[in-house]
Structure 1
Amino acid sequence: MTALAADLTHRWIEKPISSQNYSSTQIFRASTIATLTCSLIGISILATDQSSISIGNGRSVSISAIKAKPDVYMDGCHVNNGEVLSPECTYGDLSASKTIVLYGDSHAAQWFPALENLAKDKGFKLVSLTKSACPAPEVRKVQVGAYKNADCFKWRENSIKRIKQLRPDAVILSGYQHFQVPSQYQSRSIWWAEGQRATFQHLQGLSPKLIYISDTPKPSRDIPNCLASNGGAKCNENEKSDPQISGNFIKVNPTPWLCTSNCPAVVNGIVAYRDASHISVDISRALSPKLGTVLADLGLL
């Protein structure tokens, strides 16, 4: 980049100036413009170079595609801090008699692409009830920034009222379990299990199938950035989440779908994570058949 700037400056500034009579002010202005132009060219080149990621076998994928979020974000259906009521967002076959609810935080919402595919293909209504930083287990979290426990509990209360009205054929729940554990708890497992049991008690009797998907692996770093910077093996150092589920939920553990002895960044040629936390939209869709098999075995498809 330095060599490029030097070449352009010499070619378009120094050579012309050496054969002309310009004032010092004119020379300064011209030099400044040249420097800014070179900087912008450099930024453009860098952006172009980092717009895609090589995933082997001569294949590459767009970073923006990897980092894309599920449609519930763009549709305004995934609510955020300060919001306590999910809008009425229904997907799939709107004329179907069968209804499945997706309930929880962004780690529930990450399964939306898989479930939307199934809803369209198999013919059921999919109702999305998700909110950032508010996992389905009724845990009280350490309050940080704009997050408020009171908002989460009010949102959960409103969502459960909605589920009670819908009486869906199934509720599929999940949640990010790697939040900071409040100091009054001796362990993460005790804290998380308490929240899961409370949620089960509130949902019991509202649907015949209460299905809990345990949390996906926790990436050790931002995976798209790691791959873009040729992080190599470091990109595969991702932590398996504890699949323990308390309460009489129907249990689904997605870890074998994403991991073997380790949890790689790229699974079956697909970048598995969109950031340092969530699975990508593409891998969610790719896992639709596996989730579909689970639902079919439960008589839901």
Structure 2
Amino acid sequence: MTAIAVGALAMSAWPASAQDEEFDPFTHGTNTVRGDSWLDPQTGPDTQTPTGISWPLSEVNEDPDYYDWGCHVTAQADSTPIGCVINPEGSTDVVVLGSSYAGQWMPAILEIADREDWAVTIHTKTWCDFQPGRAITNPSPYPECDRFNTKVLELLRQDVPDIILTSHYDPSAGPHLTRVYRDLIARGVEDVVGIWNSSGTFAEEGPGLTKAAWCVRDIQFDDYTGDYTTCHYGKGSETDQGNRAMQLVDTGLDDFHYVPLQDWMCPPDSTVAPRCPAVIGRVVPWRNGAHLTNEWTHSMTNPLHAALHQDGVTETGP
């Protein structure tokens, strides 16, 4: 495995606005949706941003920083795990598994890792959901992913982590995942966390990239003179993607924790509900049709940390 000291891979500087104002993950974004606690999202006066500067600045297709570190397997033909280790001297061994849907949460995961003194091993691969022993067939057969998952599973059995963090996109995989995680828990894994999979927007919102993301980008390119309220979008079902599968596993395994987070980006008490605000606390949640921006997931650190603490996965909360 590739051991990387967390200090050697500090987060890249967040973009500054035309007025030299910097994005702050603990001021913007979900920080404007906090209710009585980090478990209670409620809209506030600064939640639904109508105009002005927003982050990320015109970067609809940004990837998480750890892609640039060489820690994500991007080539579909590659079936060899990289296994980067962030903070190898950490007191708790944590492994991040899955595709980009799990990897998109890395800005929040690494912030929590720093707080909790985690050693984080990364096993993520493009389009490769972690479901070893069950072939990937949708949208097409993906034997390289199947081989990758087999190798990762063997690594987990050889060196059992304390915590697994993952996310899933196949809603039909619940029974199989239950068996996989039951076996890993029996081998010594203390907790498996399935983080809510951003289920995207309704299909009629536009093909490919989310209409909301492109709408916001156009306003940014026009010197922020437009109205973001014209970009509000319809949310997908909470059982879309792999959320249904993770909910099923959660009901069958005491040590599996499904963490739903959709209400933070689509508050049920917002003035546009049941639609979702396109910009929240001056942060754009979507970078494309199914993935979240780095700024948004970084601002989600406290809600995710609170949920993990409530479920007994972490020793502390935000």
Separation in structure 2 between the aligned mates of residue 299 and residue 60 of structure 1, nearest angstrom? 33
Q: What is the deviation of 1:234?
A: 5.0
Alignment match, 1:217? 199
What stretches of structure 1 of length at least 5 have no aligned partner?
Answer: 1-54, 178-188
Read off the aligned partner of 1:78 and give its amino acid letter.
Answer: H
Q: In the alignment, is residue 78 of structure 1 matched against residue 72 of structure 2?
A: yes
For the Cα contact (< 8 Å) 2:285–2:292, is it kept in 1? yes
Identical amino acids, percent of aligned pairs: 20
Q: In the alignment, is residue 252 of structure 1 matched against residue 250 of structure 2?
A: no
Which structure: greater helix fraction? 1
Q: In the alignment, is residue 193 of structure 1 matched against residue 190 of structure 2?
A: no
Read off the aligned partner of 1:205 and give its amino acid letter.
Answer: A
Q: What is the deviation of 1:143?
A: 5.5
Alignment match, 1:163? 156
Alignment match, 1:14? none
Separation in structure 1 between the aligned mates of residue 116 and residue 84 of structure 2, nearest angstrom? 19
Structure 1's 294 and 72: CA in aligned 2 closer, same or farther, altered over 3 A?
same
Higher deviation after alignment, 59-68 or 201-210: 59-68
1:37-76 matched pairs, under 5 angstroms: 56-76=50-70
Separation in structure 2 between the aligned mates of residue 240 and residue 143 of structure 1, nearest angstrom? 19
Q: What is the deviation of 1:276?
A: 1.1
TM-score by length of 2: 0.65
What stretches of structure 2 of length at least 5 have no aligned partner?
Answer: 1-48, 220-227, 269-273
RMSD of equivalent CA atoms: 2.5
Alignment match, 1:127? 121
Alignment match, 1:300? 314
For the Cα contact (< 8 Å) 1:224–1:275, is it kept in 2? yes
Alignment match, 2:144? 151
How many residue pairs get matched?
232
Alignment match, 1:3? none
Q: What is the deviation of 1:67?
A: 3.0
Q: What is the deviation of 1:155?
A: 0.9
SS for the counterpart of 2:186 is coil
Q: What is the deviation of 1:130?
A: 0.6
Separation in structure 2 between the aligned mates of residue 276 and residue 263 of structure 1, nearest angstrom? 14
Higher deviation after alignment, 230-239 or 153-162: 230-239
Separation in structure 1 between the aligned mates of residue 105 and residue 51 of structure 2, nearest angstrom? 28
Structure 1's 94 and 269: CA in aligned 2 closer, same or farther, altered over 3 A?
same
Structure whose CA Rg is larger: 1
Separation in structure 2 between the aligned mates of residue 228 and residue 72 of structure 1, nearest angstrom? 24
Separation in structure 2 between the aligned mates of residue 56 and residue 203 of structure 1, nearest angstrom? 47
Q: What is the deviation of 1:135?
A: 1.3
For the Cα contact (< 8 Å) 2:54–2:284, is it kept in 1? no
Q: What is the deviation of 1:173?
A: 1.3
Read off the aligned partner of 2:88 and give its amino acid letter.
Answer: L
TM-score by length of 1: 0.69
Determine which structure has greater relative contact order: mean sequence separation of CA pairs < 8 Å that are 6+ residues apart, divided by chain length.
2
For the Cα contact (< 8 Å) 2:167–2:194, is it kept in 1? yes
Q: In the alignment, is residue 90 of structure 1 matched against residue 85 of structure 2?
A: yes
Separation in structure 2 between the aligned mates of residue 119 and residue 154 of structure 1, nearest angstrom? 29
Alignment match, 1:5? none
Structure 1's 105 and 202: CA in aligned 2 closer, same or farther, altered over 3 A?
farther
For the Cα contact (< 8 Å) 1:106–1:175, is it kept in 2? no
